[in-house]
Amino acid sequence: MASSNLAHAQTAKPRPSDLELVALNGMFDEKDGLSVLRHALTGDVSPAPIAMVSSFGADSSVLLHMVAQINPNQEVLFLETGKHFAETLEYIEITKKHLGLTNVRFLEPDTKDVERFDPKGNLWETDPDSCCHIRKTEPLDAALKTYGGWVTGRKRFQTNDRGVLPHFELTTDERIKVNPLAYWDNDDVAAYRKAHDLPAHPLFLKGFLSIGCEPCTSVVKEGEDPRSGRWRGKDKTECGIHFDVSGKIAHPTVEIGQKPMNLFKNGAFVADLWRDLKEDEAVTDLDHVHIPFDVYLENREEIDANPRDLGLILRPGDDVDALGEAAKQFSSIVVEFPAFTDGRGYSYARLLRERYNYEGELRARGDILTDQVAYFLRCGFDALTVQNEATKKALQNDDLGSVNLFMQPIGASQEVPVGTRPFLRRAK
């Protein structure tokens, strides 16, 4: 049992990749704990929520005050080890009242574990690691199964081991530890407490700088490491909860739901009167159907003879030059963009418009990001089939944020030279 730790926790939820975490670490001012905490509790740091855990120790009030500002109904987890100072339990009530926190949840050790491993309640004397394990690690572990990570109050200055602590931290068990106060020092904490008139832990006033369970906490003398009062005389500096700092990373799997086709044309989303040719469908008597280019090539005569409105689907790799002027008989051509990184379709569009004089509807369809829309329009597209929700929203709100000044001429689009601008530049 002593060897098991948090890494055994069952966590199905994926969390951001290590690079994404590095990115998060660049987003906030070092001392802007409130923004870090807000992002952790309300942002998209992890698909599962981030838990708020508090020891209600010497300087817990800072984080709790921040939590109260973000959401006073936020659940706050507290490890009720059964070994706390009475003052700590009293302090919880003071703090709840002072800050208006409504949702403090006590996590208690498994009674079976306590009966089995610490029947006399003195395990801390002989094996403090195991004591921590059954009274802190295991209960927290169980409680955190539904979370993507948790918030801690750890700070870099607290011990040498924590010197490189970031805001957002990788753990070995697929979860994230968030350390909003990582860069704070004692003065910051004191200043914050004073500025917000936060109640001090009763024991803090008596010289306890880092407060844990009663048997393992002693007074820190002036000049000592603030955490030196914990497990004094024992070769132990951390309780096991904060131990793992790195490891293998699970990449998030983004679930993209299949959305209905959405046609954006002439500045608005409109009903799409067209459909794609079904697999193995006969090409006779079609009307308002987009036909894959290879199917067209195989059934050219029959399709050319159909007088109704027909369309074509061009995929990356299709030979636009082989289509050539024949494009003109179609009323709508779809150019597929299976991935936004595949830019072949831009060339196809320009060739259709500029070389083969195609004047019908030209649709871009597929992985369309807002930032490509301006490029599509310039290359001659006049309709977009958009699946990406963010792009849809941006189009609806006319909020593409595009650059509409152009450094180079494009043959097809109706761009008007502005004033005496040199030939290379045009503005929309």
Partner 1 sequence: MYRYDEFDAAFVRQRTEQFAHQVKRRLSGELTEEQFRPLRLMNGLYLQLHAYMLRVAVPYGTLNSTQMRKLAHIARTYDRGYGHFTTRQNIQYNWPKLKDVPAILEELASVEMHAIQTSGNCIRNVTTDQFAGAAADEIIDPRPVAEIIRQWSSLHPEFSYLPRKFKIAITGAPQDRAAVKFHDIGLMAATNDAGDVGWRVFVGGGLGRTPMVAKEISDYVPHEYLLPYLEAILRVYNMYGRRDNKYKARIKILVHETGIETIREQVEAEFAEIKEGVLKLPQGELTRITEYFAAPNFEPQTETKIDVAQFEATDSAYARFLKHNLHPHAKDGYVSVTISLKPIGGVPGDATDTQMEAVADLAEQYSFDELRVTHEQNLVLPHVAIKDVRAVYDALVANDLQEGNAGLISDIIACPGLDYCALANARSIPIAQAISEKFADREEEFGELKLKISGCINACGHHHVGHIGILGVEKKGTELYQITVGGDATENASVGTILGRGVVPEEVPNALEKLLDRYMAERTGPEESFLAAYRRLGDAPFKEALYG
Verify whether residue 379 is a known catalytic residue.
Answer: no
346 binds partner 1 (CB under 8 A): yes
Give the contacts of 416 (CB within 8 A, at least 6 positions apart).
426, 427
- Near partner 1 by CB under 8 A, which window of 1-9, 24-32, 85-93, 299-307? 24-32
Task: Quote the strand ranges of 256-314, DSSP E.
Answer: 263-265, 268-270, 275-276, 289-292, 310-314
Secondary structure E strands in 309-358: 310-314, 332-337
What count of other Cβ atoms lies within 10 Å of the Cβ of residue 103? 14
326 vs 318: CA distance, rounded Å = 14
CA 44 – CA 393 distance, rounded (Å): 19
Tokens representing 177 are: 């530890």
Angle CA 62–65–68, to nearest 5:
155
User: Is there a binding annotation on residue 379?
Assistant: no
Min CB(291)–partner 1 separation in Å: 22
Residue of the chain from 5, 13, 14, 25 that contacts partner 1 (CB under 8 A): 25
- Binding residues for partner 1, how many (CB under 8 A)? 53
Binding marks (x or -) toward partner 1, 236..255, rule CB under 8 A?
A: ------------------x-
Angle at 353 between CA 351 and CA 355, to 5 degrees: 50
Question: Per CB under 8 A, does 307 bind partner 1?
Answer: no
Catalytic member of 67, 239, 335, 373: 239
Q: How many residues does the chain have?
A: 428
- Per CB under 8 A, does 43 bind partner 1? yes
Amino acid (one-letter) located at 89: L
Residue 130 or 385 having the CB closest to partner 1: 385
Q: Which is nearer to partner 1, 45 or 92 (CB)?
A: 45
What element of type H or E holds 323? Answer: helix 320-323
379 binds partner 1 (CB under 8 A): yes
| Positions in 253-272 near partner 1 (CB under 8 A) | 254
- Active-site residues, by number, are 239
Chain residues in the site for partner 1 (CB under 8 A): 16-17, 19-20, 22-23, 25-29, 39, 43-44, 254, 316, 340-344, 346-348, 350, 355, 369, 371-372, 374-376, 378-379, 390, 401-411, 418, 421-425, 427
